[in-house]
Amino acid sequence: MKKATVGAVVVGSAAAVAVAALIVRHRMRKSNKKGRAMSILKEFEEKCATPDAKLKQVADAMTVEMHAGLASEGGSKLKMLISYVNNLPTGDEGGVFYALDLGGTNFRVLRVQLGRKDGGIIHQEFAEASIPPNLMVGSSEALFDYIAAELAKFVAEEEEKFHPPPGRQRELGFTFSFPIMQTSINSGTLIRWTKGFSIDDTVGKDVVAELTKAMQRQGIAMRVSALVNDTVGTLAGGRFSNKDVSIAVILGTGTNAAYVERAQAIPKWHGPLPKSGEMVINMEWGNFRSSHLPLTEYDHAMDTDSLNPGEQIFEKICSGMYLGEILRRVLLRMAVEAGIFGDEVPSKLKSSFILRTPEMSAMHHDTSSDLRVVGDKLKDILEISNTSLKTRRLVVELCNIVATRGARLAAAGVLGIVKKMGRDTPRETGPEKIVVAMDGGLYEHYTEYRKCLENTLVELLGAEMSTNIVFQHANDGSGIGAALLAASNSMYVEDKS
């Protein structure tokens, strides 16, 4: 009897030891996993670091590439496209002008009534339409006929007070957000379609001529006065309301910048110099790259997996299409190597681009004590429930690292433009205000990103110069800007070219 009791005690103590060992191993594993998650975080943070010295190197590299792109076609990763816009709106424009904004699968038709110096924009109205999928892969004639028919409908429904006086033609600004080789203020040939369009017989043709023929078929007497890129439109819209606007930046799904350059500083410009002495340059800065950019393994992997490997590197670390995807890739590694979401790796977390930047922004801005928004987003998008507060804090920290790097690099890009314009140091004539017209959903809605960008530029310029830089939100620049450029390049105003 005693022996049995002793045996039972021995067995019992062995079991207790085994359980204790399991608990210890589990805690060690848990501790190791937590340590692994923190080491992945720290490594990522270090590789994304953007100290001021590095940002100044990025800005200098941007300036160098701008010079190279202005010197010759193909001389730089920056295309530095000549927009042929040398007459920006002055605020003196009057009359009724139209705009057609074709940015992708949707397009908008606008009418803007301008009241000269004191009136500004008196009236504006727009209509939206979607391009049917079959027309995105059909013929050039069918696509432009559809667009012209929507334009005709818009004009037919307008009040009589908007009708042009006898002998005067309606004028239109055409925002066409696809790669074109511009040949004048109102002509340009399509290089290639993007955004799901594939219409072979438009490639190599003048898109203004195609639209004009379609308008004639619809019986609309309208002249295209300006063909513009959306960033150039944003600059024009900003300039109309503030004469000090000289730079425009779009930070949305993608990113781009335009600015006012001295015509004499464009070696590849071979035409007669415009009387204004100025030319708006569409930089296409999303394609900027430099050895100074703080790229991580996640960026390289995302680039390799993209539709355009090796291209648009700056855009891939700064713009809205990609920030959420970078976050997802870091979280996936943490899930695999550190089990931050449990023993199983959530299957949804393996889906590329499932985590969009608006969701990342919502998590980054979560101020609730239990980070409830973070928990809800992880559950709704990635089907990850019951996350710990520590894990949610980790997610917010990652959001901050990704957004901070993007915003600070965008600020360095703006500094590069300011340097190229020779406006980064005090002038003898006194301070000269630099107003940057900003547009795009990322800038408009991601508050932490916007604040970081603006604060960084102030930091980089220094106390004396930073008081002269102002950011101005130019909403809907691409549409209204096109109408304004139609006005400033109207055939009815005195030739200023």
Tens of pLDDT, residue by residue over 233-278, are 999 999 988 889 999 999 998 899 999 999 999 999 988 889 899 9
Q: With contact defined as beta carbons under 8 Å apart, do 179 and 191 qualify?
A: yes
pLDDT digits (tens, 9 = 90+) for 348-360: 999 999 999 999 9
192 is catalytic: yes
Q: With contact defined as beta carbons under 8 Å apart, do 496 and 276 qualify?
A: yes
3-state secondary structure of 264: helix
Q: Poorest-confidence range of 53-57, 349-353, 404-408, 421-425?
A: 421-425
200 is catalytic: no
User: b/e for 305-335, b at 16 or more Cβ within 10 A?
Assistant: ebeeeeebbbbbbbbbbbbbbbbbbbbbbbb
Is a pLDDT exceeding 80 seen at residue 492?
no
Is a pLDDT exceeding 90 seen at residue 7?
no
Tokens of 408: 């600070």
Q: How far is CA 235 from CA 104, 130, 280, in A?
A: 20, 26, 9
- What is the reported pLDDT for 115? 84
Share of the chain above pLDDT 90, in %: 64
Q: What distance lies between CA 286 and its chain's CA centroid? A: 8
Q: With contact defined as beta carbons under 8 Å apart, do 228 and 482 qualify?
A: yes
Catalytic residue (one of 101, 145, 206, 230): 230
Q: With contact defined as beta carbons under 8 Å apart, do 112 and 311 qualify?
A: no
Catalytic residue (one of 192, 262, 372, 427): 192
Average the pLDDT over 191-202 and give the result: 84
DSSP letter for each residue of 9-45: HHHHHHHHHHHHHHHHHHHHHHHHHHHHHHHHHHHHH
Residue type, 388: S
Average the pLDDT over 362-375 and give the result: 97
For 175: left if phi > 0, alpha if psi spans -120 to 50, otherwise beta; the answer is: beta
Q: DSSP class of residue 430?
A: -
Place of tokens 């001295």: 262
| Residue 412: HSE in the Cβ half-sphere, 13 Å Cα cutoff | 28
CA distance 483 to 496: 18
- What is the reported pLDDT for 306? 87
3-state secondary structure of 227: strand
pLDDT confidence bin for 122, thresholds 50/70/90: confident
Is a pLDDT exceeding 50 seen at residue 6?
no
CA distance 465 to 433: 9
CA distance 245 to 248: 8
For residue 97, the cross-strand partners are 112
Q: With contact defined as beta carbons under 8 Å apart, do 366 and 334 qualify?
A: no
3-state secondary structure of 96: strand
Catalytic residue (one of 76, 83, 140, 177): 177
Is a pLDDT exceeding 70 seen at residue 284?
yes
pLDDT confidence bin for 475, thresholds 50/70/90: confident
pLDDT confidence bin for 25, thresholds 50/70/90: low
230 is catalytic: yes
Residue type, 335: A
Q: What distance lies between CA 224 and its chain's CA centroid? A: 27
CA distance 230 to 442: 16
Tokens of 397: 């920290």
Share of the chain above pLDDT 70, in %: 92
pLDDT confidence bin for 495, thresholds 50/70/90: very low
| Residue 394: HSE in the Cβ half-sphere, 13 Å Cα cutoff | 25
CA gyration radius for the chain? 28
Alpha helices in 276-421 (DSSP H): 297-305, 313-318, 320-338, 357-364, 372-382, 389-420
User: b/e for 360-377, b at 16 or more Cβ within 10 A?
Assistant: bbbbbebeeeebebbbbb
CA distance 479 to 475: 9
Q: Poorest-confidence range of 178-182, 456-460, 470-474?
A: 178-182
For residue 107, the cross-strand partners are 102, 129
Alpha helices in 421-495 (DSSP H): 441-445, 447-466, 477-488
